[in-house]
A = this chain, B = another copy of it.
Amino acid sequence: MDDEKFMAAAIDAATEGVEAGQTPFGACIVRDGEIITAAHNAVWSDTDITAHAEVQAIRAACRKLNTIDLTGCVIYSTCEPCPMCFAACHWAKISKIVFGARIADAEKAGFSELAISNEQMKTLGRSGVKIAGDFLRNECIKLFETWVGRGDNRPY
Listed in ascending order, the chain A residues whose CB lies under 8 Å from chain B are 43-44, 47-50, 55, 58-59, 62-63, 66-70, 82-88, 90-92, 112-116, 120-121, 124-127, 156
Contact = CB atoms under 8 A, between A and B. Distances in A.
Nearest to A90: B114
A113 to B, nearest CB: 8
- Copies of chain A in the complex: 2
30 contacts: A44-B68, A47-B62, A47-B63, A47-B68, A48-B59, A48-B68, A49-B58, A49-B70, A49-B88, A49-B92, A50-B50, A50-B55, A50-B58, A68-B156, A69-B156, A83-B84, A83-B86, A83-B87, A83-B125, A84-B84, A84-B85, A84-B87, A84-B90, A84-B91, A90-B114, A114-B126, A114-B127, A116-B124, A120-B124, A124-B124
Interface centre among A49, A62, A112, A156 (most CB of B within 10 A): A49
A145 B144 CA distance: 48
A14 to B, nearest CB: 18
Contacts of A43: 68
A35 B67 CA distance: 33
Contact of A83 (B62, B115, B121): B121
A86 B69 CA distance: 22
Contacts of A87: 82-84, 87, 114
